[in-house]
Amino acid sequence: MIKELIVKDGIVKEALQGGMFRVEFDNEEVALATLSGKIRKFRIRILTGDKVKVEFSPHDLTRGRITYRHGSKPRSFKK
């Protein structure tokens, strides 16, 4: 059995409770995504505005899994 995954790049628009995020893609689609196990294990922070890679099952394109956070410009923290 071969895993057929659909991979898309998007931008996190909203952080929800429980490690869930609302991600928007280039074609104006919006999907709900959770964090993958490796991202949770290594405590990689995902914030609004981050560019991420999301994997989808071919059965449901409205829910996915965030598997990678692309390197972003340095953040400015308010003091």
Query: What pLDDT is recorded for position 3?
Result: 79
User: For 18-26, what is the mean pLDDT?
Assistant: 96
CATH of domain 6-66: 2.40.50.140
Cα 51 off chain centre by: 8
> Domain-by-domain residue ranges, the chain?
6-66
Mean pLDDT of 43-69: 96
Q: What is the pLDDT of residue 29?
A: 95
Average of per-residue pLDDT across 48-55:
96
Q: Rg of the Cα trace of the chain?
A: 13
To the nearest whole number, what is the mean pLDDT of the chain?
A: 91
Q: What would the mean pLDDT of 47-73 be, rounded to a whole number?
A: 93
Q: Residue 17 CA to chain centroid, in angstroms?
A: 14
Lowest mean pLDDT among 1-10, 19-28, 30-39: 1-10
DSSP H helical ranges for the chain? 37-41
